Structure 1
Amino acid sequence: MSALGRAELDALIDEATVDAYGEDEQLTGLFTMIEEHLTVPFATTVLGIEVTVRGVDLSEDGRIVAVCSRGAARQKIGILELPMPTPAPDGAEWVEAYRRWAG
């Protein structure tokens, strides 16, 4: 669970979606905030393998995904399925706001 409470997460969601009409624009607003505020690159572990998160993207199926790499291999992983390292990178609160919004 996030260190932020519901009220703080709701305030972030409101900030990201203030001018949004409909779910697609809300998603774009949250994606923009994650893209602008999440400090990358950072390392995390996925299925026991350390990967480097290089950035974020919007997938064709309407999810925010993390662009991960290990050596020459790259893979996009849904950011809600991505385990955050401890300590979490700066801007991780925007991922938690997205998780609450998507919930």
Structure 2
Amino acid sequence: MALYCFYCRDGEDNAKLREMHKAAQREWMAEHDENYLTAGPLLNANGDFVGSLLIIEAEDEAEARATINDDPYVTGGVWQSIRVDRFEPVKGRWKKG
């Protein structure tokens, strides 16, 4: 299994959209908990939400992307852009080997 880092940036009206979809998004993540190594919000210097960081374990990038396709923050338009990169930890508790 490989690790994939999803760097999700919020769009306009993010506070309103996050609030609208928060409960459904939490349910979604609970139902798909086995796919997430970690996940959480990204905050700016003022403590405002600007996005989310997800690290998903999957066989390949397509499987990792499929994990979030129906996430309420995706379908509800919270995240304006999503960048996905394979993550190879070399230091810390997640390092390989």
TM bin (shorter chain) = 0.3 to 0.5
Larger proportion of strand: 2
* Higher RCO (C-alpha 8 Å, min separation 6): 2
Structure 1 length as normaliser, TM-score? Answer: 0.34
